[in-house]
Chain A
């Protein structure tokens, strides 16, 4: 999995035309892992297909 994430980072940086110096990659990967863990906490939360976001968000 870790290797796949490394591959993903390399591919995403190339696709997005983002510079990625070798010295930054460890921190970028660590941050991406944290964000993906956060995403996993809500991504599997069951919502009906009709649950759409509010395009004009109102509090």
Chain B
């Protein structure tokens, strides 16, 4: 293991378990890479070097080392996860004055219990209300494939850190696309699990109705390994569903046999760039997908938009009253507008959500997974305000989630897979029925084995 910067979590864990390399060695190498690359990529907002060394030594000394599925695997988390001893920034200036967290987020505890080593906190769009990865306080997260371009957001540092070889594994959050958008733009794999699957306890919220947490990685197996380690009921999150763990790693190799895959047409092709369509069609062809229509996706996106802006406004109402000048102005103005939406329109959005959920679940009677683009375009330049979709000029910030919003709106599990187009990668969503993360991961792994999807290594 001479170069850990592009090793997978599974490879690192196997090497540490067998004693070929020490967890401390891996950690030191990774910390050195972070030192070198972070000035360019601006992915980390805090590096927890001493904590990481201490944990790595503990893994090396553990009598159970060989049984730890993530032994010595470095990982980092979007800075909305609580890290013991640090204030939880959630990308904001305001939260810098918060009391330091006294306990790690539950998902960090679970990854560390599996032997993983936390190396730091990652940049993000303010309060997660973002699709670009830009941040007015910390500077933009930068895309490893071209640092002049966006990572996508809001989990921008998570995309940059994994795509840029600074960690094999990262955690982020996804309310409307914040895991799937940076996965697409940075050319990596991301998993947004079923709503209610992974506990959000110890993370800073945004939209309770739509918030999900999940992992980023450069291989499907790494997504599955980390996801399996994080499952389990937790009373600390009111939306966490009491279900037994359902391991996915044992099923990865089962291939496509018996799986019926569809590809979303209509809304999900409108406005897509030639690159997005090329990636989608390549993946669809590889799995023999037939076209389906997801009904009323446009209305679903709109309803998600309104629920987001109003719940976000409710969360931040007091801060808007007392600290309005400390917000990113773009976030502040959207939240103030959100506070003014009549409540009848929010209730109608939730009513529609129930109808739409039933309509989409009906599609899964005839298929096991549905493909859709992850983003309409490859990574735009940092600072780019508008792009042209289908001949219409639109704001980047609001429209990067065009294809992700209607899916997270009803909590379906999605694996975002990277198609390594040149010069920039772009992602495709593999959407499964609720609680069938195993199906989406299996299809993603089959595509990876066929060589159709892969995380391209940037020239850093």
Bound together? yes
Contact B320 A18 (CB under 8 A): yes
CA distance A59 to B195 in the complex (A): 6
Contact B241 A32 (CB under 8 A): no
Chain B residues with CB under 8 A of A13: 336, 340
Q: Could you say which of B22-30, B33-41, B346-354 contacts chain A?
A: B346-354
Other than A13-B336, A35-B337, A35-B338, give 13 A-B pairs with Cβ distance below 8 A. A12-B340, A18-B336, A24-B332, A31-B333, A31-B334, A43-B348, A51-B351, A54-B354, A57-B353, A58-B195, A58-B241, A59-B357, A59-B413
Cβ contacts A to B, 14 pairs, < 8 Å: A12-B340, A13-B336, A18-B324, A18-B336, A19-B321, A24-B329, A24-B333, A24-B336, A32-B340, A35-B305, A35-B337, A38-B302, A51-B351, A57-B353
Chain A residues with CB under 8 A of B410: 59
Top 9 A-B pairs ranked by shortest CB distance? A59-B411, A53-B350, A31-B337, A38-B302, A27-B333, A32-B337, A59-B434, A12-B340, A39-B345
CA distance A20 to B335 in the complex (A): 12
Contact B354 A35 (CB under 8 A): no
Contact B309 A42 (CB under 8 A): no
Contact A18 B398 (CB under 8 A): no
B344 — nearest CB in chain A belongs to which residue? A43
CA distance A35 to B348 in the complex (A): 14
**Residue B251 is within 8 A (CB to CB) of chain A in the complex:** no
User: CB within 8 A of A38: which of B305, B320, B324, B413?
Assistant: B305
Interface residue count on the A side (C-beta < 8 Å) = 33
CB distance from A10 to the nearest CB of B (A): 10
**Residue A47 is within 8 A (CB to CB) of chain B in the complex:** yes
Chain B residues with CB under 8 A of A53: 347, 350-351, 353-354
Which positions in A face B, CB cutoff 8 Å?
8-9, 12-13, 16-21, 24, 27-29, 31-32, 34-36, 38-39, 41-43, 45, 47, 51-54, 57-59
B398 — nearest CB in chain A belongs to which residue? A34
Chain B residues with CB under 8 A of A57: 195, 209, 239, 353, 411
CB distance from B378 to the nearest CB of A (A): 25
Chain B residues with CB under 8 A of A58: 195-196, 241, 411, 434
B323 — nearest CB in chain A belongs to which residue? A19
Chain A residues with CB under 8 A of B239: 57
Contact B329 A27 (CB under 8 A): yes
CA distance A39 to B105 in the complex (A): 35
Chain A residues with CB under 8 A of B296: 45
**Residue B245 is within 8 A (CB to CB) of chain A in the complex:** no
CB distance from A36 to the nearest CB of B (A): 8
Chain A residues with CB under 8 A of B345: 36, 39, 43
Interface residue count on the B side (C-beta < 8 Å) = 49
Contact B324 A41 (CB under 8 A): no
Chain A residues with CB under 8 A of B306: 35, 38-39
Query: Which of B333, B337, B338, B345 has most A Cβ within 10 Å?
Result: B337
A40 — nearest CB in chain B belongs to which residue? B302
Contact A16 B339 (CB under 8 A): yes
Chain B residues with CB under 8 A of A20: 336
CB distance from A53 to the nearest CB of B (A): 4
Chain A residues with CB under 8 A of B413: 59
**Residue B219 is within 8 A (CB to CB) of chain A in the complex:** no
CA distance A22 to B111 in the complex (A): 48
A28 in contact with B337 given A34-B398, A45-B299, A59-B412 (CB within 8 Å): yes
CA distance A19 to B89 in the complex (A): 23
Chain A residues with CB under 8 A of B352: 42, 45, 47
A12 — nearest CB in chain B belongs to which residue? B340
Contact A59 B305 (CB under 8 A): no
Contact B340 A47 (CB under 8 A): no
Chain B residues with CB under 8 A of A32: 337, 340-341
CA distance A24 to B338 in the complex (A): 14
B318 — nearest CB in chain A belongs to which residue? A17
Chain A residues with CB under 8 A of B309: 31, 35
Chain B residues with CB under 8 A of A42: 299-300, 302-303, 348-349, 352
Chain A residues with CB under 8 A of B355: 45, 47, 51
CB distance from B307 to the nearest CB of A (A): 10
CB distance from B226 to the nearest CB of A (A): 20
CB distance from B352 to the nearest CB of A (A): 5
Contact B305 A17 (CB under 8 A): no
**Residue B298 is within 8 A (CB to CB) of chain A in the complex:** yes
CB distance from B235 to the nearest CB of A (A): 15
CA distance A2 to B216 in the complex (A): 44
Chain B residues with CB under 8 A of A35: 305-306, 309, 337-338, 341
